Amino acid sequence: MVTSGDRSAKIRTYNYSQGRVTDHRIGLTLYDLQNIVNGDIQKILDELMLADNTEKLKANSDIM
């Protein structure tokens, strides 16, 4: 995906002072920055897969 590169196109924000990670694509906010930076990204992956599956199910139900 090609974007303009401006701030409105950001995917994820890492806020170190609050220990917060926000994924803007799915509206997920986690207050577990240290573990995420250390590689424990399973929570993010699970939520991204859930959002993707939900979107696919919705698209399939619109077809029927």
At 50-60, the pLDDT tens digits run 999 999 999 98
Question: Bigger pLDDT: 7 or 24?
Answer: 24
Per-residue b or e along 42-59, where b marks 16 or more CB atoms closer than 10 Å to that residue's CB = eebeebeeeeeeeeeeee
d(CA 37, CA 31): 12
d(CA 45, CA 51): 10
Residue type at 34 in one-letter notation:
Q
This prediction has a pTM of: 0.75
Q: Are 19 and 34 in contact (CB under 8 A)?
A: yes
* pLDDT digit string, tens, across residues 16-40: 999 999 999 999 999 999 999 999 9
